[in-house]
Chain A
Amino acid sequence: MMMPPESGPGFLKREAVPVLVFVLLALVPVAATFGAESYLLSLVTRVMIFAIAALSLDLILGYGALVSFGHAAFLGLGGYAVGILSAHGQTDALVQLPLALAVSALFALITGALSLRTKGVYFIMITLAFGQMAFFLAVSLAAYGGDDGMTLPGRSRLFGLDLIKNDRAFYFAVLALLLASYLLCRSIVVSRFGRVIRGARENPQRMAAIGFPLFRYQLAGYVIAGTLCGLAGFLLANQAEFVSPAYMTWQRSGELIVMVVLGGLGTLHGAIIGAAAFLLLEEWLSGFTEHWKMIFGPFLVLVVLFARGGLMGAIRRIGGGGHG
């Protein structure tokens, strides 16, 4: 018989990893007061922003088996929405954020409607092509810095106030948004909609044969993921107070995929852990040598070969076979 999901002593064990992750994130600002505050806050803020982007990718890649190789385009769209509006004197988040999300959603709707007509390698290639289109569009925006990108006059304001100017305040704002994004994704995954997406990953023909026109569900999923990644772009521009085409290189799209796979496909908290592992390893290894990728590459290969299911898979095995 089925157990009620949110009760019983199993709850803490099952939810131990996400609870731990968020508790640790909430404690970082406390730890940061003991030294290197601005460095630590800015590093972990960046981790959380990329965690939102990786979460959004996990929604379609991990649960829907849609390997989007152009996901970084949404980071750029969200970022440029902030940058371009700021350049014209519009610095209020109440304008910037809705626009960033709307532009991302629209781009996802158009590119998704075309990309989702293809499958497998062709889908990867066409999403890559759209990602590159967005990249070169940004490069060509001479009025907004072209290749070099543009520096923002400052962080977004809220109701005309400098609410997130302070790094600590911004940290908590990003943490709250990460938590909200995580809970939203969890809800979607187990909902009716999410079940259709997961079913399509397992056996698309079967799903069609029980009466699901998959295209529209996958397109909706693609738009949700793109919009959420647009949020990450909005935050990234605010953190760096700078936007450039480098936000949306295809390498960046690849890094997002690596984060999701590293953390463990289709687990959501795995995407957060993957983003953290990727960025912290990058930070740590690059302190030893500028050729840090020589170490990081083989590490990735080992994870993929020996820790199937990524870091979350490894945690599950060490934790004694419980399932999350």
Chain B
Amino acid sequence: MAEPALELRDLNKAYGALTVTDHVSLALPDGEFHAIIGPNGAGKTTLIHQISGLVPSDSGSVWLGGRDVTGLSLPERVHRGLVRSFQITSILPGFSALENVALAVQAHEGSSFRFFGRAREEARLNAPAMQALEEVGLGNRASVRAGLLSHGEKRQLEIAIALAARPRVLLLDEPLAGTGPEESAVLIALMQRLRGRMTILLIEHDMEAVFALAERVSVLVYGRIIASGPPAAVRDDPEVRTAYLGEEGG
């Protein structure tokens, strides 16, 4: 029972001579809201690519609920409950907001090798999709083409898509990237609501948000985790201050 929801064991990744992920080990208990912070180029996005299966690791392993998923592809990991969002908004711009989410439901609801019947009118796909849209506050934008949504709404949509895949572990890759203050507030409130309902690993640049949301924070510098613990402890860690917070806050 005490198996961590998500565990990274000694993950490594190098591009040529450049080490981007350097012996990263991390365990997230079930239901934890964990944040990874770090300066630009610390290797945060590469790490999330490795966890989600988009980029293969050189060595080390990823465990989901006590099972090794290192050899599984991105879609296979999604079916095991490991779901991610993208730093650069990744939606289907020509589909309606509802259809974006309904497709995520479809991926987990029966077979997609069906050649007859209109997918767009299937209530068993649309109802859960609508619920996910309402959850992120896009209920009244369901029929709008996703490409026409505002930047903040696209970020909300992306979270709705991830939620529709019924994640056990949700990887959020800089959901606040490029958002204005009002849009951020909406997204932070949304993440607040998700807290505790699933295990969340948040990668984020926005310090204020991270310290408000996370139960534990890890600091990634040059691909290495230099500190990990409750927000207050991490904030006061001298190594963190010199390596990261000091530079940033200067």
Contact = CB atoms under 8 A, between A and B. Distances in A.
Contacts of B108: 211
A191 B119 CA distance: 5
Contacts, number: 101
A1 interface: yes
B87 to A, nearest CB: 12
Interface residues on A, range: 20 to 34
A5 B90 contact: no
A199 interface: yes
A217 B107 CA distance: 12
Given A2-B143, A190-B119, A191-B118, A210 B113 contact: no
A187 B107 contact: no
Interface stretch (B16-24, B91-99, B205-213, B228-236): B91-99
B143 to A, nearest CB: 7
A202 B118 contact: no
B116 interface: yes
Contacts of B75: 208-209, 211-213
A237 interface: no
Interface in A158-173: none
A213 B99 CA distance: 18
Interface string B123-147: 0000000000000000000010000
Contacts of B107: 210-212
A205 B121 CA distance: 25
A223 B108 CA distance: 24
Nearest to B118: A190
A117 interface: no
Given A2-B143, A206-B92, A210-B107, A192 B78 contact: no
Interface string B49-70: 0001010000000000000000
A114 to B, nearest CB: 19
A207 B75 CA distance: 8
B81 to A, nearest CB: 10
Interface string B162-178: 00110000000000000
Contacts of A194: 115, 119
Contacts of B113: 192-193, 217, 220
Contact of B74 (A5, A208, A220): A208
Contact of A192 (B104, B117, B161): B117
Interface residues of B, number: 39
Which applies to chain B's interface (DSSP): helix, strand, loop or mixed?
Answer: loop
B114 A199 contact: no
A209 B73 contact: no
Contact of A203 (B76, B91, B99, B120): B91
B106 interface: yes
Most chain A CB inside 10 Å of its own CB: which residue of B78, B111, B164: B78
A193 B74 contact: no
B86 interface: yes
Given A203-B91, A211-B79, A193 B114 contact: yes
Contacts of B90: 203, 205-206, 209
A188 interface: yes
Contacts of B78: 209-211
A195 interface: yes
B84 interface: yes
A187 B86 CA distance: 32
A206 B120 contact: no
B86 A193 contact: no
Contact of B114 (A191, A203, A209, A212): A191
B242 interface: no
The 7 tightest CB contacts between A and B, nearest first, are A211-B78, A211-B107, A210-B104, A202-B92, A192-B114, A192-B119, A206-B90
Interface of B: 52, 54, 73-76, 78-79, 83-84, 86, 90-95, 99, 103-104, 106-108, 111-122, 143, 161, 164-165
